[in-house]
Structure 1
Amino acid sequence: MLLVLDNFSSHVCKHTRKRAHELGIDLVFLPVGSPDLNPIEPVWKSLKWESSPLIVNGEDEYRRLLDELFDQLTEKLSFAASWIDNHLSGFLNKIC
């Protein structure tokens, strides 16, 4: 299994790397300052775009709507497929 991560402190800490190794997960760290390589960035961009016109009655309703939007967006494989085609397929060809 392969997991792509940015360089957030909890992602690169010794405990995370050790536990991933124990579970048989290979970690791939994105270069610092490369948000275009991070597969979650298009999801955040779309979430911000689609949530900006929302009018809600309170925090609970807003959180519920954001959860629904996030679920809808991440169920679309187009985000992942596009990212894999653009960034990961070349990497996998190099290591396999």
Structure 2
Amino acid sequence: MQLYAIQCRAGLLLEWLVNTRTGKLLRGPLSEKPGIRVLYVTADGEHALVKESEARETDGSWKPPKQFTSVIAKDIEEADPVPDSSQDHYRRSVEELYDPP
């Protein structure tokens, strides 16, 4: 299934030490790096996923990594269902930015 990037947000990626059994935060943040979060959605707006990656800092601004892609392919199991109330907005966003099949 194809997913289309419709929103990017720059911010800090924080690394924490977490107890894997309980999910409790033990210590952190251990590191702060410039990052980018991208919301990808299906053309019908019914599924979405967020991918985080490190950003490049260039001339005082943050840019996506060189390997950034605006359309990705993933198995349906990797994406989350989108609430009905957001599906129309996501579908229209894909139509405005892309020419999906």
Q: TM-score range by the shorter chain?
A: under 0.3
Higher relative contact order (CA 8 A, sep 6+): 2
The two structures have a TM-score, normalised by structure 1, of: 0.22
